[in-house]
Amino acid sequence: MIELTRVDDWRRRFAEEIDRMWRTPFNWDGHDCVVGLAGNMALAITGVDCAAEYRGTYKTAAGALKVMRAAGFENIGDMVASFLPEVHPSLAHVGDIAAIPVESPFGYALGVVNGERIFVLMPNGVGTVDLLDAKRAFKVG
């Protein structure tokens, strides 16, 4: 697990990263929910690239699944728990990562907590879901 501390201007960096995500459509080549959302958000608000070992290692859903399984994880929630400390979703704060159960081989979709809502990646940018949809959460700094 990586020790993370939020930088002094993390709120500004959080807002800038959300703005960037909002304009970038989902893709498996760097803008998915592990590297593109969880990894980039942690990098933005802490300056530490928690997802560095996974960047550039896949370009498709099948490739991402293969990387996840080769790393020994059954789902992306467990993958994120290997580099961020897990907390109950009720203890998640703005900028923390949330895991929402989905019907897929990945088990979860990831999002970024923003109060009572979670920013999630959609095919054409960013959407939101209710914080109560999260079953797991991970502290970012």
Task: Tell me the pLDDT tens digit for each residue of 89-141.
Answer: 999 999 999 999 999 999 999 999 999 999 998 877 788 999 999 999 999 99
Contact 113, 95 (CB under 8 A): yes
Domain boundaries, position 27: 10-138
What are the residues whose beta carbons fall under 8 Å from the beta carbon of 19, sequence distance 6 or more?
A: none
Please state, in angstroms and rounded to a whole number, the distance separating the CA atoms of residues 47 and 45.
Answer: 6
More confident residue, 2 or 15: 15
Does 2 reside within a domain? no
Band of residue 15 on the pLDDT scale cut at 50, 70, 90: very high
Does 1 reside within a domain? no
Does 28 reside within a domain? yes
pLDDT, tens digit (0-9, with 9 covering 90-100), for 21-65: 888 888 898 889 998 898 999 999 999 998 899 999 999 999 999
Domain count of the chain? 1
> Shortest CA distance to 31 belongs to which of 110, 128, 115?
110
The pLDDT of residue 23 is 83
Does 92 reside within a domain? yes
pLDDT, tens digit (0-9, with 9 covering 90-100), for 72-90: 999 999 999 988 999 999 9
Does 99 reside within a domain? yes
Does 21 reside within a domain? yes
The pLDDT of residue 25 is 81
Contact 54, 64 (CB under 8 A): no
Does 69 reside within a domain? yes
Does 118 reside within a domain? yes
Contact 37, 110 (CB under 8 A): yes
pTM for the structure as a whole: 0.93
The pLDDT of residue 122 is 84
Q: Identify the CATH number of the domain in which residue 32 sits.
A: 3.90.1720.10
Q: State phi, psi for 3 to the nearest 5 degrees.
A: -80, 120
The pLDDT of residue 21 is 87
Q: For residue 1, is pLDDT > 80?
A: no
